[in-house]
């Protein structure tokens, strides 16, 4: 853990300078999330201690990713991470994701080990957290690129969501990045006609430049996070075919190396 912190010292310093280290929830695990009117709501933040709740924003995300993994729902953890990335564009934070998962797992293991003195069952939970910390600290992430393409409504998002839930793929969706470029939320409607507004040719060039900037490579892919990208992209101004002729999306996967993480 100390070696990892030393390796990431410069990364954390730069993220702090850019405002990504700030007051967060501080205790974002599954027991502190409730459904209210069918919407998940986080509660019981560490309001009593500013130092404890001041952290890298990715560490807060890593806490829930880790806790869902411990509960046997790693798929939900991946969906949560995917949704957070789509909402915030915080892909640079993937560089510190593994550190956050391991750190949070070790903290929870320590807490449950203390609890086990009064609650014997907590010892088993502590062991599971330690197992997660060990697995994440030792794992490597093969680097590959998968590109989905197809007509609107053909199922690209649905198909790539299954990939997200079952692998360590990091999804970058062209529609989301296009809207982000224009300051729109992922679910917002742009009101643009085909070939105009945010779908104008120059906007498409800018969108694909954003996608290219997120591609995994030896220099840009975070060494402590999954370096796989599933890109949702479609050619500009392609007409939508009649429903009876609609084809399923295509998925192409290209291996670009597999470097173990030291």
Nearest 5°: CA angle at 98, between 217 and 51?
A: 125
- Per-residue pLDDT tens over the stretch 66-117: 999 999 999 999 999 999 999 999 999 999 999 999 999 999 999 989 988 8
In the numeric block, the tokens 């409504």 are attached to 153
The confidence score (pLDDT) of residue 247 equals: 52
Q: Decide: 171 and 160 in contact? Cβ < 8 Å.
A: yes
Task: For residues 224 and 97, give the distance between their C-alpha atoms in angstroms, rounded to a whole number.
Answer: 7
Q: Over the stretch 23-80, which tens digit does the pLDDT of each residue have?
A: 999 889 999 999 999 899 999 888 888 888 899 999 999 999 999 999 999 999 999 9
pLDDT of residue 79: 95
Higher pLDDT, 168 or 144: 168
Sign of the C-alpha dihedral computed for residues 100, 102, 108 and 114 taken in this order: negative
Which of 97, 77, 65 minimizes the C-alpha distance to 166?
77
pLDDT at position 251 is 53
Cβ–Cβ under 8 Å, residues 8 and 224: yes
pLDDT of residue 57: 94
Tell me the C-alpha distance between 175 and 188, whole Å: 11
Rounded CA separation 211/55 (Å): 28
The burial class, CB within 10 Å (0-12 / 13-18 / 19+), for 146 is middle
pTM, rounded to two decimals: 0.79
| DSSP secondary structure letters along 133-201 | HHHHHH-----EEEEEE-STTSSHHHHHHHHHHHS--EEEEHHHHHHHHTT--TT----PPTTSGGGSH
Q: Which segments within the chain are labelled E, that is strand?
A: 21-23, 33-36, 39-42, 54-56, 144-149, 170-173, 229-232, 250-255
More confident: 125 or 215: 125
Question: Is residue 145 very low, low, confident or very high in pLDDT (cuts 50, 70, 90)?
Answer: confident
Cβ-in-10-Å burial (0-12, 13-18, 19+) of 89 comes to: middle
Q: Look up residue 38 and give its two tokens.
A: 């069918």
Q: What does the alpha-carbon distance between residue 128 and residue 122 come to, in Å, rounded to a whole number? A: 10
Strands of 229-232's sheet in order across: 170-173, 229-232, 144-149, 250-255
Give the count of alpha carbons within 13 A of 35, CB side only. Answer: 2
């Amino acid at each position: 853990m100390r070696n990892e912190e030393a390796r990431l010292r410069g990364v954390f310093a730069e993220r702090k300078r850019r405002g990504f280290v700030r007051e967060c929830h501080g205790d974002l695990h599954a027991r502190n999330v409730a459904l209210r009117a069918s919407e998940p709501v986080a509660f019981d933040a560490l309001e009593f201690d500013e130092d404890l709740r001041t952290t890298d924003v990715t560490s807060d995300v890593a806490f829930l990713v880790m806790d869902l993994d411990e509960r046997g729902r790693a798929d939900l953890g991946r969906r949560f991470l995917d949704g957070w990335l789509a909402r915030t564009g915080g892909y640079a934070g993937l560089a510190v994701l593994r550190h956050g998962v391991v750190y949070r797992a070790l903290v929870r293991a320590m807490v449950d080990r203390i609890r086990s003195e009064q609650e014997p069952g907590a010892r088993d939970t502590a062991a599971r957290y330690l197992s997660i910390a060990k697995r994440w600290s030792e794992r490597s992430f093969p680097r590959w690129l998968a590109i989905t393409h197809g007509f609107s409504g053909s199922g690209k998002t649905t198909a790539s969501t299954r990939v997200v839930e079952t692998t360590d793929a990091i999804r970058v969706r062209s529609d989301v990045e296009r809207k982000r470029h224009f300051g729109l939320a992922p679910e917002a409607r742009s009101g643009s006609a085909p070939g105009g507004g945010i779908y104008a040719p120059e906007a498409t060039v800018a969108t694909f430049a954003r996608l290219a900037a997120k591609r995994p490579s030896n220099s840009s892919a975070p060494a402590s996070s999954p370096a796989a990208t599933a890109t949702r992209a479609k050619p500009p101004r392609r007409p939508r075919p009649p429903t009876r002729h609609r084809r399923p999306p295509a998925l192409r996967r290209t291996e670009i190396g597999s470097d173990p993480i030291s």
